[in-house]
Amino acid sequence: MPDNRRFLLQRRPDGEPVREDFELVSEPTPDLAQGQFLIRNHYASLDPAMRGWMDAGGNYMPPIPLGDPVRATTIGVVEESRAEGFEAGMWVMGLNALEDYSVGVAGGFTQPIDPSMVPEVTNYLSLFGAVGMTAYFGFLEVCAPKEGETVLVTGAAGAVGSVVGQLARIKGCRAVGIAGGPEKCARLTEKYGFDTAIDYKGKDEAALTKAIAEACPDGVDVIFENVGGIILDAGLMNLNLHARVGLCGLISEYNTEPRGIRNLWQLIVKRAQIRGLLVADYVERFGEGAAQMGEWAAAGKITIDEHVDEGLENAFDSFMRLFAGSNQGKMILKIA
Minimal CA–CA distance to 168: which of 206, 140, 141, 131? 140
Q: Which of residues 16-75 bind its own copies (CB under 8 A)?
A: 52, 59-60
Is there binding between residue 158 and its own copies (CB under 8 A)? no
Length of the chain counted residue by residue = 336
Residue 76 CB, nearest distance to its own copies (Å)? 28
Helix 130-137 to helix 286-298 angle (10° resolution) is: 90
Is there binding between residue 299 and its own copies (CB under 8 A)? no
Stretch that binds its own copies, among 121-129, 149-157, 198-206, 245-253 (CB under 8 A): 245-253
Q: Which of residues 272-291 bind its own copies (CB under 8 A)?
A: 272-278, 281
Is there binding between residue 248 and its own copies (CB under 8 A)? yes
- Which residues are bridge partners to 154 per DSSP? 178
Interatomic CA distance for residues 250 and 232, integer angstroms: 9
Residue 136 CB, nearest distance to its own copies (Å)? 16
Identify which of residues 24 and 274 has a Cβ nearer to its own copies in the complex: 274
| Distance from chain centroid for Cα 101 | 23
9 neighbors 81 (Cβ within 8 angstroms): no
The alpha-carbon radius of gyration of the chain (Å, integer) is: 20
Interatomic CA distance for residues 286 and 134, integer angstroms: 10
The SS3 call for residue 95 is strand
| Interface pattern 161-200 for its own copies (x via CB under 8 A) | ----------------------------------------
First to last CA, the chain: 16
Residue 272 CB, nearest distance to its own copies (Å)? 6
Pairing of strands 239-247, 220-225: parallel
Interatomic CA distance for residues 21 and 223, integer angstroms: 34
Q: Which of 33, 206, 264, 336 binds its own copies (CB under 8 A)?
A: 264
Q: What is the DSSP letter of 106?
A: T
Is there binding between residue 270 and its own copies (CB under 8 A)? yes
Run of H or E including 141: none
Identify which of residues 170 and 278 has a Cβ nearer to its own copies in the complex: 278
Identify which of residues 81 and 226 has a Cβ nearer to its own copies in the complex: 226
Residue 127 CB, nearest distance to its own copies (Å)? 22
Q: Which of 130, 133, 143, 250 binds its own copies (CB under 8 A)?
A: 250
Identify which of residues 62 and 107 has a Cβ nearer to its own copies in the complex: 62
Contacting residues toward its own copies, per CB under 8 A: 52, 59-60, 228, 247-250, 253, 257-278, 281
